């Protein structure tokens, strides 16, 4: 219940990330109480993203609330050190989807109504510019989160340029390694806990030399982080041939 959870939070000074992991195994009442406790955070995040104050009666707040709930369910050690940073990413992702769907609906409605001057009622160019700027802002936020994740492994964003595989065949082999690690909970746990590749187990699953794995260690770790996180933009780096 709420009292038990927040006694743990304040008396034992347990991190919010540990609280979230506990709530994932708790009752719906504890989950609801936790969401209520963090409603100011949700409201502030949604208002910041939208660029205006959002009340709890508006659709944007409901989307933020649902996204925060989703973040609680999805959070794990794979998502980084900060639950609230991860929650912001999920809220932003859901709001972006909402804005895009809303724009298509509004434009379709105006066309169906036979408006003589659609652009006076709905300036699609202005909206497109807004979404472009919004995407750029959130792309930067995503990169910041990714960069923080890399630091946990002693890797800098800049160093990835030098260690990226140059040949397509090598990239394909590396991606196969990433797929294997990302789909194996034991190897992922080893990677995040030890901050290094599970070389011994990898060598039994891939036909790649230890020397090659070690040479591309930083790149493999970076792609694993992208693979298991809810990044909208960085997922493009996992596309074959990209």
Per residue in 220-239, is it b (16+ CB within 10 Å) or e — as a string?
bbbbbbbbbbebebbeeebe
DSSP state of 198: -
Q: Which residue has the higher pLDDT, 46 or 115?
A: 46
Residues 178 and 221: their CA atoms lie apart, in Å, by 8
**The predicted structure's pLDDT at residue 153:** 92
Q: What is the pLDDT of residues 195-237, one digit of tens each?
A: 999 999 998 888 888 898 999 999 999 999 988 886 778 877 6
Q: What is the mean pLDDT of residues 118-135?
A: 53
Domain map of the chain by residue range?
A: 38-151, 159-238
Q: What is the largest CA-CA distance in the chain?
A: 68
**The predicted structure's pLDDT at residue 196:** 92
Q: What is the mean pLDDT of residues 66-83?
A: 85
**Taking 50 as the threshold, does the pLDDT of residue 30 lie above it?**
yes
Enter the pTM of the model. 0.61
Instruction: Collect all residues with Cβ–Cβ distance below 8 Å to 56 and sequence separation of at least 6.
Output: 39, 43
Q: pLDDT confidence of 37, banded at 50, 70, 90?
A: very high
DSSP state of 114: T
The interaxial angle of helices 28-37 and 2-11, nearest 10 deg, is 50
Integer angstrom CA distances of residue 126 from 60, 119, 122, 138, 231? 20, 10, 9, 18, 26
Q: What is the mean pLDDT of residues 55-79?
A: 90
In the chain, pLDDT over 70 holds for what percent of residues? 77
**The predicted structure's pLDDT at residue 235:** 76
**The predicted structure's pLDDT at residue 107:** 43
Q: pLDDT confidence of 129, banded at 50, 70, 90?
A: low
Residues 42 and 39: their CA atoms lie apart, in Å, by 5
The DSSP string of 27-42 is: -HHHHHHHHHHTHHHH
**The predicted structure's pLDDT at residue 198:** 93
Residues 173 and 213: their CA atoms lie apart, in Å, by 10
Averaged confidence pLDDT in the chain: 79
């Amino acid at each position: 219940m709420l009292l038990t959870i927040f006694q743990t939070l304040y008396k034992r000074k347990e991190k919010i990330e540990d609280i979230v992991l506990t709530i994932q195994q708790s009752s719906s009442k504890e989950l609801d109480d936790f969401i209520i406790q963090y409603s100011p955070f949700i409201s502030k995040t949604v208002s910041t993203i939208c660029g205006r104050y959002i009340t709890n009666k508006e659709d944007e707040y409901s989307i933020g609330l649902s996204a925060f709930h989703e973040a609680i369910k999805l959070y794990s050690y794979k998502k980084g050190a900060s639950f609230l940073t991860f929650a912001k990413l999920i809220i932003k992702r859901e709001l972006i989807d909402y804005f895009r769907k809303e724009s298509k609906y509004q434009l379709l409605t105006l066309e169906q109504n036979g408006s003589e001057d659609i652009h006076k009622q709905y300036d699609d160019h202005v909206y497109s510019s807004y979404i472009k700027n919004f995407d750029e802002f959130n792309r930067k936020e995503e990169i910041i989160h990714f960069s923080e994740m890399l630091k946990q492994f002693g890797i800098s964003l800049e160093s990835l340029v030098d260690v990226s595989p140059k040949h397509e065949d090598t990239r394909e082999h590396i991606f196969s390694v990433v797929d294997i690690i990302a789909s194996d909970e034991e190897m992922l746990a080893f990677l995040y806990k030890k901050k290094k590749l599970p070389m011994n187990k990898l060598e039994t699953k891939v036909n790649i030399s230890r020397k090659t794995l070690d040479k591309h260690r930083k790149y493999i770790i970076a792609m694993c982080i992208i693979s298991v996180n809810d990044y909208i933009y960085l997922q493009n780096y996992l596309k074959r041939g990209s």
